[in-house]
Structure 1
Amino acid sequence: MNTVHDSAAAGYTAAAQTYVRGRPDYPTEAGAWLREIVELAPGKSVLDLGAGTGKFVPLLRESGAKVLALEPVAAMRAELVERYGDVEALAGTADNIPLPNAAVDAVVCAQAFHWFATREALAEIHRVLVPGGVLGLIWNVRDTDMPWVAELGRITDAFEEGTPRYQSGEWRCVFPAEGFTALDERSARNAHVGSAEQVVVERTLSVSFIAALPPEQQREVERRVRDLIRATPALSERPDVAFPYVTRMFAYRKNAE
């Protein structure tokens, strides 16, 4: 197989630059997780699988490990190369990784694993990991305990139409996985601070299935989001707002052979 979901291919091609601006960074706890659990350090190597525009690359580089990045969508990969020209950027997919066996000490999927949560992809990840290597999965998940965040979800979720997402939990169905042992699961609070335009409007327009909509439907979504901002004092009456997230982290170790 060599596949990219239609929503990812169309949406992320159209919204590569919006993705850069509208998506949050990761909390400091994620850096500690990379060092302590994923075991990244100088002398180690890590593959950022489904790397997108490289939002996770700075945190990976802080570990001192050698970073490789694989991204199948050309527009996203071009943004990554422009920002991080020193990182080796590979074209490929999770079920067809262009690396030899036991090539890397860790594979990390940031905001990505739900797109390719299949037995075939896990087998390919298993192949490129060294024995004892670690697979790390991480997502920034919107905190819907905040009422306006929940309302924003109701606006966008109407257009989901079965697009793979962390929230569905379907990615969990591939675990337990042959050749892997669950290692760690943890959460941390996070927030994307900026103007409502950046962290709410551009965040919404960067969602794959929203970015893939016809222009008139995108405009309708944007209109509803702007109406929500105007109706919410916490968004409309402040120069900067904090979009709350919970960062979810999971780790699995490749069994020693």
Structure 2
Amino acid sequence: MTEPIHDAAQRGYTSAPDSYQRGRPEYPQALLAWLDAQLGVREGARVVDLGAGTGKFTKLLERTGATVTAVEPVDAMRARLSESLPAVQALAGTAQAMPLADGSADVLLCAQAFHWFANGQALHEMHRVLRPAGRLGLVWNVRDESCDWVAAITEIITPYEGDAPRFHTGQWKRPFENQALFTPLRLAEFPHSHAGSFEQVVIDRVLSVSFIAALPQSEREAVQARLRALQQRFAALCEPVINFPYVTQAFSAERLAQP
């Protein structure tokens, strides 16, 4: 039975596609070489971008010359993707029920998404869609909390998490334990940053977080007020252009034969 989309994702991402598009960073150029060498994402490859959102990562995949299919369950996000990337086929579907044939993909990627559907059912569905020896890639832009003001932002938003799945907990790795569908995950890391105004890289970035976007307006405004108060503590946040530091973590695995 297909699991429903988590309420924080459904409500938050439905209400915040604009903040998501403005506030979320792109992906480092170094990922292009990783996509080619580790996953075989290149011209002629059939690639699925699962949980594609507004197409931030899809745009990078399109540059490789591969045939890209985006799968996104939230209508508002998928509409934004289709608007910005009209040449990409964008399908409604979930990680547990993709509208794709068996073995129809050479590569399947999830960027900023796998923690939302990290379960055995999704892993089996990915295995079904990938061809034998196909490749799986999981990518996250992770806030670099060694920076003092980034750590302060995290302190503001963490109390609102509730039961929303989060990358930082590491719970998303559990489906890969004691399974015979994929090889062990391999990690590559890339330094990254998002340059822009305070409104873009801090306010819009935080407002695009699912469980923040899903808050009542009064609470969202309270979060914004606390974020703006950080400019009184950290001079770097008063600069006209702020470089928000990230570390991009990219995991890869290979599909094994049916157990």
TM-score (norm 2): 0.97
Matched pairs, number: 256
Matches within 5 A, 1:90-239: 90-176=91-177, 177-182=179-184, 184-236=186-238, 238-239=239-240
How far off is 1:251 after superposition?
0.5
2: CA distance, partners of 1:180 / 1:14: 35
Return 5+ residue gaps in structure 2 as ranges: none
Partner of 1:23: 24
For residue 41 of structure 1, report the CA deviation from its aligned partner: 1.3
What are the superposed Cα offsets for residues 165-217 of structure 1, whole Å, 9 maximum, x if unpaired? 11110001111332211252110100000111100111011100000000100
SS in 2 for 1:68: strand
Q: Aligned partners of 1:242, 1:75: CA distance in 2, in Å?
A: 28
Superposed CA offset, 1:14-36 (max 9, x none): 10111000000111221111111
RMSD: 1.0
Give the counterpart letter for 1:215 in structure 2: Q
Match of 1:140, SS state, is strand
- Counterparts of 1:36 and 1:69, CA distance in 2: 22
CA contact (8 A) 1:22 1:200 kept: yes
Q: Percent identity?
A: 48
Which residue of 2 is the match for residue 68 of structure 1? 69
Q: Which amino acid aligns with 1:226?
A: R
When the two structures are superposed, what TM-score results if normalisation uses the length of structure 1?
A: 0.97
- Alignment partner, residue 40 of structure 2: 39
User: 1:181 touches 1:252 (CA, 8 Å); kept in 2?
Assistant: yes
Cα distance between partner residues in 2 of 1:256 and 1:183: 16
Deviating 4+ runs (over 2 angstroms): none
Match of 2:251 in 1: 250
SS in 1 for 2:138: strand
Equivalent AA in structure 2 for residue 230 of structure 1: Q
Greater mean alpha carbon deviation, residues 140-149 or residues 224-233: 224-233
- Residue 144 of structure 1: SS of its match in structure 2? coil
Contact 1:2 1:96 in 2 (8 A): no
Deviation at 1:255, TM superposition (A): 1.5
